[in-house]
């Protein structure tokens, strides 16, 4: 079955710690995305990558970092510089650099204690 796998589903972090969220896809899609969901604010784009070894900042990239060393993988690191990291994080992919439909993973809930 093709799809997007995010892990972990739930994660707790102490303030000041970096944490990395995993995103793997076997859809053979070139483009991958990280969104953040907060109540009442919809989905906001953090970073996206249209091809291996290249990525672009989205609307709220501060305090986050990504890498795209393999087509299948697009991990997101939430650094200690992110002032309000508690949120639901969603990874998505698309078979087009000009996305119509995005395919989403199940999401990762990060809570900072």
Partner 1 sequence: DQQVKQNSPSLSVQEGRISILNCDYTNSMFDYFLWYKKYPAEGPTFLISISSIKDKNEDGRFTVFLNKSAKHLSLHIVPSQPGDSAVYFCAANTPYGNKLVFGAGTILRVKS
Is 31 near partner 1 (CB under 8 A)? yes
CB of 71 to partner 1, least distance (A): 17
Number of Cα atoms under 13 Å in the Cβ half of residue 76: 36
CA angle 61, 110, 103 (to 5 degrees): 65
β-bridge partners, 99: none
Q: Which of 45, 52, 60, 61 binds partner 1 (CB under 8 A)?
A: 45
Stretch that binds partner 1, among 13-21, 60-68, 69-77, 91-99 (CB under 8 A): 91-99
Main-chain phi, psi angles of 30, to 5 degrees: -80, -40
- Name the strand (E) or helix (H) holding 102: none
Is 27 near partner 1 (CB under 8 A)? no
Is 98 near partner 1 (CB under 8 A)? yes
Q: How far does Cα 108 stand from its chain's mean position?
A: 9
CB of 89 to partner 1, least distance (A): 10
CB of 80 to partner 1, least distance (A): 26
Is 107 near partner 1 (CB under 8 A)? yes
């Amino acid at each position: 079955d093709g799809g997007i796998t995010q892990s972990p589903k739930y994660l707790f972090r102490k303030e000041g710690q970096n944490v990395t969220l995993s995103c793997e896809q076997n859809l053979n899609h070139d483009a991958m995305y990280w969104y953040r969901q907060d109540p009442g604010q919809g989905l906001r784009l953090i970073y996206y990558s249209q091809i291996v070894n290249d990525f672009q900042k989205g609307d709220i990239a501060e305090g986050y970092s990504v890498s795209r060393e393999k087509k299948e993988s697009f991990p997101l690191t939430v650094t200690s510089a992110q002032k309000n990291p508690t949120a639901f994080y969603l990874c998505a992919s698309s078979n087009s650099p000009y996305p119509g439909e995005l395919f989403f993973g199940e999401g990762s809930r990060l809570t900072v204690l």
